[in-house]
Amino acid sequence: MSDLNVLFISIDSLRRDMLGAYESPFDWVTEMDVKTPNLDRFAEKAITFDNHYAGSLPCMPARREWDTGIQEFPWRGWGPIEAYDTTLAEKARNAGVLTKLITDHFHLFQHGSSGYYEDYHGFEFVRGHEDDLWKTQPYGADETLLQQVGYDLDNDPAETSTEVTDPAANPDHVRDPYDLEQYRPRWKYVRNVAGFDDQTDFFAAKVFSKAAGWLHDNTDWDQWLLRIDEFDVHEPFHCPEPYASMYTDKDPRDPDLPVWPYYGRTDKGQAALTDRELAFLRSQFAGKVTMADNWLGQVFNELDEQELWNETAVIITSDHGFLLGEHGWIGKMSPDFDLVAQTPLFVWHPDSDQPGTTIESLTSAVDLHETVLDLLGAETDTETHSKSLLPIIEGETTQHRDWALYGWWHSDINITDGTHTYMVPIQEDVPLYNYSTMQMSAQSPFTPTDGYEGAESGQFLPYTDASVWKQQYPSMSLVRKPRLYDTDADPTQSENIVSESPSVKTEMDDLLHEALNNMAVPDEVYEQYGLGE
């Protein structure tokens, strides 16, 4: 096999159960029948991985796994590429491969992020998604959309305090849309998209069109890595037509119907939603899925026209899913049910003898780092947590992993053996630390660095001699007590069997201990999850 080009595509927040290649155990998804013809067509020729799990959540921790092959969520949160890291783009360029990044994922460029784009030979950034700090005009923003993204316009800005309130401490507080002390105001999105007329103005259209154009213009290079990081299907779920009306009979411009939910329980607090509001959010999420799929088709068409399929490996995946009322939650900051943690993965390899097949082997997001390098013929690194999928893709083996570990730093930890999922609460009375070479606000990464009083510096990590900052933060459990699910028998994860299956719980405890040992976690991590070293 000659070394291949690699097209590595991530579509943010893409739920696998909305794709034709995967089944959904939830009736509302089946009844909605979300249209994804391009991904369905791709799945017919690619290998579909049916037991693929996220690792470090959410967005930037996931990308750090893809970029570095390091899985760090038990001891490190949202943050930069570290000084001791060697990125995917750097390894590829050291192997003589041209590298390009095309993205609308503005978190790559925010406070708390660095090193995610600098190693590419070229990058293009489509501005304006979510609360990208881009436009400040028009001052008089679209009032309907302001209400749909979560503002209460009955509050008179002149009478509203400009004090920045912590939404976690006061979740029912509605911020003034003209409060200039905020670092992440939702009014940014409303101004950013002012003047958008049709779907060609929206983000998936721009990113995938630019990627198709790049494929058309860069055929002279011997070998390349094209990284497409598409921030849709991420909220706000603000869709142009025809997608906004595709899965609902409601008026998509009704100011009482939200397009940007707050994370949390759907039955109380700031995230509370009526059945009507929740149904509308589901329809707009589905509309975004179909919109992203439609514009992804342009990339596939260019691969067809340039006859690139026979010399290009294509990987399509997502960082995580999104709860849309299941289990009583909205968003991704929730217990890590499979709707969040079990992600889609499709791989096209021109030399594989398994096109159109489904692989049941347990795989993890961190494995994509070594997989891309293997496909490029670039040097891989045995010191990472990543394990190449190429032996499975080429049919040399069917066994890959005994466990996959996933979760959020500062919260609960989860492990699966491919049949059971096990959620273990973090002990909030045990000290929690974040380790990084950079001083940062680990629990508020989008704001200036703050709160580093008492930080220690030293060589605390097992895979680097670099000195890092060790800073204590509070932790937060969302499950409180262990949860165990048999996902074969109970794919909706509706029955916690931890009490009636003590032997399985013991096996999963042992597996979690094995995983943490394998990762050489800092000593306090065992205590945080109630395990002995």
Q: Among the listed ranges 8-22, 94-108, 353-367, 435-449, which one has the minimum average pLDDT value?
A: 435-449
CB 473 within 8 A of CB 506: no
* Mean pLDDT, range 181-207, rounded to an integer: 93
DSSP tag of 106: G
Distances (CA, A) of 297 to 48, 146, 184, 280, 488: 18, 32, 33, 26, 33
| H-run or E-run covering 45 | helix 37-45
In this model, does residue 1 exceed pLDDT 50? Answer: no
User: Shortest CA distance to 369 belongs to which of 381, 354, 351, 352?
Assistant: 381
The dihedral through the CA atoms of 10, 14, 19, 25 has a sign that is positive
* pLDDT (mean) for 373-402: 92
Reply yes or no on whether the pLDDT at 503 is more than 50. Answer: yes
Q: Are 427 and 532 in contact (CB under 8 A)?
A: no
pLDDT confidence band for 533 (50 / 70 / 90): low
Residue 165 scores a pLDDT above 60 = no
The 10s digit of each residue's pLDDT in 464-487 is: 889 999 999 999 999 999 999 999
Q: Which tokens hold the place of 348?
A: 């096209």
Q: Tens digit of pLDDT for each residue in 320-347?
A: 999 999 999 999 999 999 999 999 999 9
Q: For all residues of the chain together, what is the average pLDDT?
A: 92
Q: Is the dihedral of CA 266, 267, 273, 278 positive or negative?
A: positive
Position 120 pLDDT exceeds 60: yes
pLDDT at 310 over 90: yes
* Whole-number pLDDT of residue 175: 52
Q: How does strand 432-436 pair with strand 468-473?
A: antiparallel
The rounded percent of the chain whose pLDDT value lies above 90 is 83
C-alpha dihedral over 425, 426, 429, 431, to 10 degrees? 170
The per-residue pLDDT for 184 is 83
The number of helices, as runs of H, and strands, as runs of E, in the chain is 13, 21
Q: How many CB atoms lie within 10 A of CB 405?
A: 25
Listed in sequence order, the residues at least 6 apart from 323 whose beta carbon sits closer than 8 Å to its beta carbon are: 329, 330, 331, 332, 334, 337, 339, 340
Residue 526 has pLDDT above 50, yes or no: yes
> At how many degrees (to 10) do helices 275-305 and 37-45 cross?
50
Write out the two tokens for 389: 């999928």
Instruction: State pLDDT tens for residues 38-82.
Output: 999 999 999 999 999 999 999 999 999 999 999 999 999 999 999
Q: What is the pLDDT of residue 462?
A: 83
Query: Closest Cα partner for 48 from 351, 363, 312?
Result: 363
Residue 274 has pLDDT above 80, yes or no: yes
Q: What is the pLDDT, as a whole number, of residue 177?
A: 63
Nearest CA to 148 out of 254, 248, 33 is that of 254
Phi–psi pair at 323, nearest 5 degrees: -80, 135
- Would you place residue 452 in the very low, low, confident or very high pLDDT band (cuts 50, 70, 90)? low
**What average pLDDT score do residues 176-189 get?**
80
Task: Determine the straight-line distance between the first and last CA of the chain, rounded to whole angstroms.
Answer: 44
Q: What is the pLDDT of residue 141?
A: 86
Q: What's the pLDDT score for residue 176?
A: 57
For residue 161, the model assigns a pLDDT of: 36
pLDDT confidence of 158, banded at 50, 70, 90? very low
CA distance 500 to 528: 25
The confidence score (pLDDT) of residue 11 equals 98
pLDDT at 159 over 60: no
Tell me the two tokens of residue 489. Answer: 């028998």
C-alpha to C-alpha distance for 151 and 143, rounded to whole angstroms: 9
- pLDDT computed for residue 156 by the predictor: 43
Question: Rounded to the nearest 5 degrees, what angle is found at the Cα of 63, between the Cα atoms of 181 and 53?
Answer: 120
Q: Which of these ranges, 69-83, 160-174, 224-238, has the smallest mean pLDDT?
A: 160-174
Q: What is the pLDDT of residue 163?
A: 36
Q: Is the pLDDT of residue 162 over 50?
A: no
